[in-house]
Amino acid sequence: MAYTDIQMDKKDLQTLKDIAVKAYPYEACGVLTGGEIENRIYDIVDANNTAALDLRKKSFEISALDIYRLENDGYKPIGFYHSHPDYPAVLSEEDKKHMIPDMIYIVASVKRTYVSQLKGYVRTSTDLNQICELSIQIVDKGGK
Amino acid sequence: MKVYISATLRNFFGKNESLDVEAANIKAILDYLTDEYPEAKKILFDDSENLRGFVQIYVGEENKSDKSYWKEEIDAGEEVLLLPAIAGGAPVESIISDDRRKAITFDDKEVERFSKHLMLRDIGVKGQKRIKSARVVVVGAGALGSPVIQYLAAAGVGTIKVVDFDEVSLENIQNQILHTSRDIHRPKVASARDKVRNIDRSIQFEDVNLQLTADNIYDVIDGYDLVIDCTDNYKSRYLINDACVLAGIPLIFAAIFQFEGQVGVFNVNNGPCLRCLYPKPPEPGLVPTCSEGGSISPLGGIIGSIAANEALKLIIGIGNHLDGQILVVDSLYLHFRTLNVDKNADCPLCGFAPTITTVEDFDYEDFCGLREDEDEEPIESVEPDELARRIEANEPITFVDVREPHERAVLRFPNAIVIPIGQLARRKNELDKSVDTIFICKQGQRSALAIRTLREAGYDGSMYNLKGGLDEMKGIIFSHEGAWL
């Protein structure tokens, strides 16, 4: 199965970066919500990192019930994002273990004042051991 | 009963938001779902029939993902939620690449030798291969270097380089367990080599018997995966830190003093460096090194063992590291504290606008204050053999000893007035201006400071500094014992 590129507009990209920098040195995390167009991000919803405070520099967790409430509010999650403070935007074993097939995952590598790298990934539902990188396209706002 | 399916998992269940399932417990619900949607089975469960890491099952507000809940009866009015588990973490990665690990093989003897590592799930064959392919530099074969070198060798680190310019002396035996009484006057790297050979002859061991300088440090650490700083002075620590940051090599920092030790990990994953913590070393001569301040015997073993453990964890890529942290150990009262070291954006070395870009251009003598300030009036000094000659000739001299009490206990300097630096200005009247006054300390730094202090206090008698301190006097042999006493 071929996957389409991730599409997001400039404002959402900026929101994502701001959230990652604000959370530094802790990991930021949140939900990417979509609509009709495949892999087109409609909104970025910041989520609480519920991992224990002493682990938050190196890990994140989003409460499943928060996702449930978000869906009840009418959002359609199409993926998730999180940041890696002072670490490249590559997936860890822990990240991979929690990837839902066909959902998109964006990882931001964040330094103290800026985001240095942004990468998108997907775990294929045809072969659960396969994880592909998706490129991220910045599109005009009108495209939603 | 109603089963809610999260939008994130809905595609595998016919895009249904919720299903009505006739079942009394979670097990029955899951059986129904996998019967109805066979494709969903491999999504929900892995090959060992365990629930996938990204799936969670809630009953109402309670997480019932664990298998032990699956046979519990559920009230028909409850809603069962099939939700995603959203979690992850920055990778703990080995500093040794997978390619290098894969190139390693073990023979039967090695499998036996390292069996206690191989049986640990977090190390195993993969971890042991990383250890074998690792190349580590240990700077300093003293109190800290002793356990570090021996544990790295015992653990199977494939390539070990030990750098030390010093020779073993009797006072080293108290806490430098690499060396024995038979090694006295031998280079420290020689006893390190013997020890490593005795542990495992297959280790690639390189001994470097020289003092690290800005000119040679790159050559020493080039091509290595990790540097462990087991030195006892600030000049070396800053030199090693700067070179490691500029060469992109992770650094384990270890230090001991009296009853206290510190260990930390720098320059890993864009983390902080020593200069983020201390941009500059302390004022010269004011902080004694371990050799001047002393330390309790096992302290080097405690701190060095932790440093070796950190090294192995970095090599294998497991656990939490002291990355961005300093562990401070007080062995006297058994306090272990971890201090966080944040990366400093203004760090002159690893910050956003670094001012230090090459280790060669950097004047460590100047930075550490080891060079005399040219603007200041120079201090007249006396060479050790010149002093010996004057003592033998019975010239009238006033000696002022500014060392600490414990230093004087170790090496007495007869016929000296003892005045701590802090009391000099107040007690300047005890000095006789008609004779030369010679200031002494261990290495000639604090005595120079003493002369400056007295000058500032307005003392105008003739003052001399014993160049190199009492350490330099050790080699002097008097023609008759009485001259010295």
Percent of chain A with pLDDT over 90: 53
- Name the more confident of A128 and B167: B167
ipTM of the prediction: 0.91
| Residues of B in Cβ contact (< 8 Å) with A71 | 6-7
Query: Between residues B430 and B302, which one has the greater pLDDT?
Result: B302
Report the residue from A64, A86, A111 with minimal CB separation from B58: A64
Whether A32 and chain B come into contact, CB under 8 Å, resolves to: no
CB contact under 8 A, B352 and A67: no
**pLDDT single digits (tens) A23-81:** 988 999 999 999 888 889 999 998 888 887 767 878 899 999 999 999 999 999 999 99
Q: Which chain A residues touch B12 with a CB distance below 8 Å?
A: 101, 125
pLDDT band at B220 (very low <50, low <70, confident <90, very high): very high
What stretches of B14-123 show up as alpha helix (H) in DSSP?
Answer: 26-36, 41-44, 98-102, 108-113, 115-118
**pLDDT at position B439, please?**
92
The residues facing A134 across adjacent strands are A120
Mean pLDDT, residues A119-143? 86
Q: What's the confidence (pLDDT) of residue B292?
A: 63
Three-state secondary structure call for residue B33: helix
Query: Whole domain around residue A18: which residue ranges?
Result: 6-136
Beta-ladder partners of A107: A82, A119
pLDDT (tens digit per residue) in B10-68: 989 998 998 988 888 999 999 999 999 998 898 999 888 889 989 999 998 889 998 88
Residue A73 CA to residue A31 CA, distance in Å, equals: 13
Q: Assess whether B244 carries a catalytic annotation.
A: no
Task: Enumerate the CATH 3.40.250.10 domain ranges in chain B, comma separated.
Answer: 381-484
Within 10 Å of residue B22's Cβ, how many Cβ atoms?
A: 9
Q: Count how many Cα atoms sit within 13 Å of the Cα of residue B406 in the half-sphere of its side chain.
A: 8
What is the mean pLDDT of the segment spanning B188-207? 97
Residues sharing a CB contact under 8 Å with residue B200, sequence separation 6 or more, in sequence order:
B113, B153, B154, B156
Residue carrying structure tokens 């701590």:
B420
Q: Is the pLDDT of residue B278 over 70?
A: yes
Highest mean pLDDT among A122-126, B371-375, B474-478: A122-126
Burial label, A139 (beta-carbon count in 10 A; 0-12, 13-18, 19+):
middle
pLDDT at B296: 94
pLDDT tier at B120 (50, 70, 90 boundaries)?
very high
Residue B285 has pLDDT above 70, yes or no: no
Buried b (16+ CB within 10 A) or exposed e, B389-418: eebeeeeebbbbbbbbeebeeeeebeebee
Widest distance between CA atoms in chain A = 42
Interface check for A9 against chain B (CB to CB < 8 A): the answer is no
Residue B360 has pLDDT above 60, yes or no: no
Cβ distance of B88 and A95 shorter than 8 Å = yes
CA distance B120 to B455: 65
- Report, as an integer, the average pLDDT of B342-346: 82
Identify whether the C-beta of residue B132 lies closer than 8 Å to the C-beta of residue B124: no
| Percent of chain B at pLDDT exceeding 70 | 92
pLDDT of residue B368: 52
Choose, from B230, B273, B276, B290, the residue flagged as catalytic: B290
Report the number of distinct structural domains present in chain A. 1
Q: What DSSP character marks residue B171?
A: G
In this structure, is residue A1 part of a structural domain?
Answer: no
Encode burial over A33-56: b for 16+ CB neighbours within 10 A, e otherwise: bbeeeebbbbbbbbbebebeeeeb
In this predicted structure, what is the pLDDT of residue B421? 81
Indicate the residue of A65, A84, A97 with minimum beta-carbon distance to B53: A97
Q: What is the pLDDT of residue B174?
A: 95
Task: Report the pLDDT value the prediction gives residue A106, as an integer from 0 to 100.
Answer: 95
Interface size A-B, in CB pairs within 8 Å, comes to: 111
User: Token pair of B238, please?
Assistant: 């800053």
We report the CATH number of the domain holding residue A117 as: 3.40.140.10
**Catalytic (active site) residue B441:** yes
B2-84 fold: Ubiquitin-like (UB roll) (3.10.20)
pTM of the model: 0.59
| Interface probe with A: pick from B82, B86, B322, B342, most Cβ of A within 10 Å | B86
- Average pLDDT for residues B123-135, to the nearest whole number? 96
Q: Is the pLDDT of residue B102 over 50?
A: yes
| Residues B170, A56: Cα–Cα separation, whole Å | 49
- Asked whether residue A142 is domain-assigned, the answer is no
How high is the pLDDT of residue B485?
46
Judged by a CB distance cut-off of 8 A, whether residue A82 touches chain B is yes
Q: Which of B9, B61, B345 sits opposite A113 (nearest CB)?
A: B345
Q: Are B106 and B131 in contact (CB under 8 A)?
A: no
Angle, CA of B161, B247 and B352, to the nearest 5°:
145
Count Cβ atoms below 10 Å from residue A117 Cβ, excluding itself.
14
Kindly report the average pLDDT of chain A as a whole number. Answer: 88
Q: What is the pLDDT of residues B377-416, one digit of tens each?
A: 778 888 888 888 888 888 888 999 988 887 888 778 888 8
> B339 to chain A, minimum CA–CA distance in Å?
13
Q: Give pLDDT, residue B366.
A: 57
Q: Is pLDDT larger for residue B111 or for residue B324?
A: B111
Paired with B266 in beta bridges are B251
Q: Which residue has the higher pLDDT, B260 or A1?
A: B260
From the list B53, B61, B320, the residue facing A65 with the nearest CB is B61
Question: What do you get for the CA distance between the two ends of chain A, in Å?
Answer: 24
Residues of A in contact with B343 (CB under 8 A): 86, 112
Asked if the Cβ–Cβ distance from A101 to B43 is below 8 Å, we say yes
pLDDT per residue as tens digits for the range B70-100: 998 888 888 999 999 998 877 667 889 888 9
Q: What's the whole-number average pLDDT of chain B?
A: 88
Distances (CA, A) of B138 to A120, B148, B229: 40, 8, 6
Residue A139: band (very low, low, confident or very high) from pLDDT cuts 50, 70, 90: confident
Q: According to CATH, what is the number of the domain B98-367? A: 3.40.50.720
Q: Is residue A70 part of a domain?
A: yes
Which residue, among B218, B268, B263, B265, has the nearest Cα to B240 in the 3D structure?
Answer: B218
Tokens for B24, please give them.
Answer: 């009394």
Is the model's pLDDT at B479 over the cut of 80?
no
In this prediction, residue B361 carries a pLDDT of 44
- Give the nearest partner residue to A86 out of B320, B343, B352, using CB atoms: B343
Q: Does the structure show a pLDDT above 70 at B241?
A: yes
Nearest to A114, CA basis, from B314, B352, B313: B352
Instruction: Tell me if A112 and B42 make a contact (CB, 8 A cut-off).
Output: no
Backbone angles phi, psi at B87, to 5 degrees: -160, 170
User: How many beta carbons lie within 10 A of that of residue A9, not counting itself?
Assistant: 19
Nearest chain B alpha carbon to A116: B270
Classify domain B381-484 by CATH number: 3.40.250.10
Residue B189, pLDDT above cutoff 60: yes
pLDDT of B471 reads 83
Model confidence at A144, in pLDDT bands (50, 70, 90)? low
Residue B362: its pLDDT value, please?
Answer: 52
